[in-house]
């Protein structure tokens, strides 16, 4: 997410692949998708033998799960491949590590508790009981992948489009929270993070700051947005301030 929007990268590559196929076989009906439509990507990939579904419900193969899925729907007659076996065995690391216990059982995910859903897809308020469990994860969560033994074999991609942009690997939450809407739009140009919008960006950071160690800097930063025009932002900022022992009628900084 800290690099170029993978949706754009994948769609571009899928279209190039379609062009190459067309050059070989002639015109054919096709449409490409990359996490951009209600397509059952993982299930299709499992049936195609690309990998197996891990207990965290993501696609796995022997090189791990750090890859993107894309599909080309077409009217060509193609040979089918067979599914491969499951290689998770008795491992349950992804289940045990999940901060919100969103993986309710092997191969079962309650998306309503998943931090990736809460910080990226959810448009409204994050349920209060889940906020402390989010920690400092302000855009997604990869804990279930980080702990997976198969990802021990994964290699860092040399793709330049996926290199970190705008110093996002060095910026603190305080720095990010101080961005104006104009700065957010400018710095996140071409990034998948931009699609959640400035309001949800501040919402997520407010939760992260609410879970941060208390400090005068954190309190001051949060207080600066306690009267934000967005009710969504105000709610999460005031929740964060309350976590640090500050109330709207306080004039000092909580200890």
Residue with tokens 């491992």: 91
Cα–Cα nearest to 176, from 195, 160, 200: 200
Q: What separation in angstroms does the CA of 119 have from each of 50, 71, 91, 128, 203?
A: 29, 26, 27, 13, 9
Handedness of CA 196, 189, 30, 40 (dihedral sign): negative
DSSP state of 82: -
Task: For residue 81, indicate whether it is catalytic.
Answer: no
Which residue among the candidates 35, 61, 86, 142 is catalytic per the annotation?
Answer: 35
What's the rounded Cα separation, in Å, for the pair 130 and 135? 10
Catalytic residues: 35
């Amino acid at each position: 997410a800290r690099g170029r929007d993978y949706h754009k990268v994948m769609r571009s590559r899928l279209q190039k692949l379609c062009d190459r196929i067309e050059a070989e076989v002639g015109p054919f009906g096709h449409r490409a998708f990359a996490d951009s439509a209600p397509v059952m990507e993982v299930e299709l990939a499992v049936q195609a033998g690309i990998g197996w579904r891990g207990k965290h419900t993501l696609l796995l193969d022997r090189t791990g799960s750090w890859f993107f899925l894309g599909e080309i729907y077409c009217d060509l007659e193609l040979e089918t491949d067979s599914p491969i076996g499951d290689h998770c065995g008795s491992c349950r690391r992804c289940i045990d590590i999940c901060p919100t216990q969103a993986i309710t059982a092997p191969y079962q995910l309650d998306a309503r508790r998943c931090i990736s859903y809460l910080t990226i897809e959810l448009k409204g308020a994050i349920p209060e009981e889940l906020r402390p469990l989010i920690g400092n994860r302000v855009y997604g969560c990869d804990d279930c992948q980080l702990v997976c033994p198969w990802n021990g074999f994964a290699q860092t991609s040399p793709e330049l489009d996926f290199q970190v942009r705008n110093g996002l690997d060095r910026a603190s939450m305080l720095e990010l929270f101080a961005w104006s809407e104009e700065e957010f739009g400018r710095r996140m140009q071409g990034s998948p993070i931009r699609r959640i919008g400035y309001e949800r960006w501040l919402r997520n950071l407010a939760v992260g700051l609410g879970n941060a160690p208390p400090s005068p800097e954190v309190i001051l930063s949060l207080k600066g947005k306690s009267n934000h025009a967005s009710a969504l932002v105000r709610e999460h900022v005031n929740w964060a301030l309350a976590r640090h022992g500050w109330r709207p009628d306080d004039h000092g900084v909580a200890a």
